Amino acid sequence: MTNDHDLTRRRYMKAATASAAMAGAAGCLGGSGGGGSEGNSWRTQELATVPAASDGALYEPTEADETGETINHLTWTGYDASNVQDPFREQFSCQTQLDLFTSNPKAFNRLQSGEWQQFHQATFDMAWIPRLAEAGLIRPMSYEDWKPYTFDQYIDLFKKENGYKYAFVNEDDYTFDIDGTMYGAPQRFGWASFVVNTDNVPEDAYTSYDAAWSDEYNVGVYDLMFWGIQIIMLREGIDPFKEHTEAEVEQVKQATFELFDNAKTLLPDFASMNQAMKSGEIDIGFISGNWINGTLRRGGNLEFQAVVPDEGSVIWVETTAFVKGDQPTVSDNYLAYMQRGQNALKLSWPTSGGTNVVPHQTAWENYNDRQREVLRVDEVRDIIDRSVFYTGIPDLEKFEPIWRQAKSRL
């Protein structure tokens, strides 16, 4: 799609490329992360490509890094844990402030409305990376520079050479493209499906999402429309990630109404759903995912599983991007720190907040037996093989009224 913003962005990128070339010829590029002279620094050019210093230099502070800075990060629960943030704060003599969200659409709207000025980095589920790029809210990254800090660190499932494309954007049509421009770094991932109490629901019953439509079980619906609609579509055999016909919208509508008619309760948030599962109020939570690990499974309640039935699940990958606008001198160091294997392991098992798998090989090699069981590490490859990657619902607005109407039936 071409619009006025797109044309403006293209003109800017042409000018930025020319400016960078002139700066390189003049020998101005240097310092931590290729910061260069103050006038030509990528940090002060609103949408300039983010470079990265070679030979692991970003892992250590340099004289070019200022002290006392604050990095503002818009992200999810778990990233704010003390074991994740405190080592970086101490090593680089800076502060990090994390603003946590639970809804990709709402977080996107915040940035688009002008709040981008409050943040330096943002971590979204990967389907939003092309949209953020098209809106001119995030910066491109130099893949060759950042590869040693990011993709070289990942398990084979997340290697570019093995087909992982969900961090790369074609800047002509703003779709994922393996040959496109890097706009983010995968940080943490998992799947959306539904959660069952395996003590109460037999295995042969949860081989299909139909179990959530069955009156044999107490079902709670988590009021999270954009995930719930995707899982309903999988159950109905409809591709979530395309434009939908009137007949398909009607089919989803009927299935949604039937789900809510069968449900015992509507749960307003993640914590309420976990509590309803743990108390025995419900046998099935729709929808859910491996984000139950922190509250339920890590607490010893391994009977609760985010199962992936025959219809599959939706794979989400939290991906961190640099927000447009001025950046602190240690912003590139912060992303390199978060991507380093031993620190990714801490994010996977934080002292507070979400507990999920990460794509980093070092973490996979160092999970202990308990962590592997709680996170279901040894099942992940099979789950991914049977699932689809979240790439965004292009006509989500068609389904929002359906969800609202369904809620009114409870």
User: CATH homologous superfamily of domain 46-189+317-382?
Assistant: Periplasmic binding protein-like II (3.40.190.10)
Q: State the Cα–Cα distance between residues 353 and 81, nearest whole angstrom.
A: 7
DSSP state of 49: P
Of residues 9, 41, 229, the one with CA closest to residue 132 = 9
Tens of pLDDT, residue by residue over 119-141, are 999 999 999 999 999 999 999 99
Residue 318: other Cβ atoms inside 10 A: 24
Phi then psi for residue 182, to 5 deg, are -70, 130
Tokens representing 141 are 């990254």
pLDDT-above-90 percentage for the chain: 84
Of residues 264, 274, 254, the one with CA closest to residue 212 = 264
> Which residue is associated with the tokens 């499974």?
297
Q: State the Cα–Cα distance between residues 88 and 80, nearest whole angstrom.
A: 12
Tens of pLDDT, residue by residue over 205-226, are 999 999 999 999 999 999 999 9
**Please, are residues 165 and 172 in contact by the beta-carbon 8 Å criterion?**
no
Tens of pLDDT, residue by residue over 193-202, are 999 999 999 9
**Please, are residues 206 and 307 in contact by the beta-carbon 8 Å criterion?**
yes
> Which residue is associated with the tokens 């953020």?
132
Phi then psi for residue 277, to 5 deg, are -65, -50
Q: State the Cα–Cα distance between residues 278 and 89, nearest whole angstrom.
A: 36
Domains 46-189+317-382 and 190-315+389-407 share a fold: yes
**Please, are residues 220 and 227 in contact by the beta-carbon 8 Å criterion?**
no
User: What string of DSSP letters covers 246-264?
Assistant: HHHHHHHHHHHHHHHHH-S
Of residues 38, 52, 49, 50, the one with CA closest to residue 15 = 49
* pLDDT tier for residue 40 given thresholds of 50, 70 and 90: low
Domain residue ranges of the chain, discontinuous segments joined by +? 46-189+317-382, 190-315+389-407
**Please, are residues 386 and 311 in contact by the beta-carbon 8 Å criterion?**
no
pTM metric for this prediction: 0.90
Average pLDDT for residues 33-52, to the nearest whole number? 75
Tokens representing 310 are 């025959």
Q: Which CATH number fits domain 190-315+389-407: 3.40.190.10, 3.40.720.10, 3.20.20.70, 3.90.1070.10?
A: 3.40.190.10
Q: State the Cα–Cα distance between residues 277 and 199, nearest whole angstrom.
A: 11
Whether 406 shows a pLDDT value over 50: the answer reads: yes
